[in-house]
Amino acid sequence: LAKTTQPISMDSYEGQEVNITCSHNNIATNDYITWYQQFPSQGPRFIIQGYKTKVTNEVASLFIPADRKSSTLSLPRVSLSDTAVYYCLVGDIGSGAGSYQLTFGKGTKLSVIP
């Protein structure tokens, strides 16, 4: 199983761009990289998913280098409401070739400061 490593916490001021990097050195060929956001006492919520290069949606961007051993979640112009824990997840439950067991890391607690 691909294990992930993220910084435990990060602080940022409102309006700044935040980049959170996740290391996954033993990512498998069929694994996708998915990021989730979790607010206190709520279930995690899907943010973005990618396989390689760059993916962008209305919420965030995900940068994945060619070797796929890491990925960076980029949140543009954060606001106070972006204060949450962000999880990087590596796994494969769609292709039929993966292990189906998904492992979340400990997440990165982002605190946005006014």
Q: Smallest distance from the beta carbon of 13 to other proteins, in angstroms?
A: 26
| Residue number, 43 or 114, with CB nearest to other proteins | 43
Q: CB of residue 16 vs other proteins: minimum separation in angstroms?
A: 25
51: left (phi over 0), alpha (psi -120 to 50) or beta: alpha
Dig out the tokens for 56 from the structure. Answer: 């962008």
Closest to other proteins by CB, 42 vs 81, is: 42
| The pair of three-digit structure tokens given for residue 14, joined into one six-digit string | 């409102």
**Closest CB to other proteins among residues 81, 100:** 100
d(CA 3, CA 26): 7
Nearest to other proteins of 8, 114 (CB atom): 8
Calculate the CA 88 to chain-centre distance.
4
In the complex, the smallest distance separating the C-beta of residue 64 from other proteins, rounded to whole angstroms, is 15
Query: Which residues lie near other proteins (CB under 8 A)?
Result: 32, 34, 36, 41-46, 49, 87, 89, 91-96, 100-107
- Output the CA torsion 77→78→80→85 (10° steps): 180
Q: Quickly tell me which residue has 């959170």 as its tokens.
A: 20
CB of 82 to other proteins, least distance (A): 19
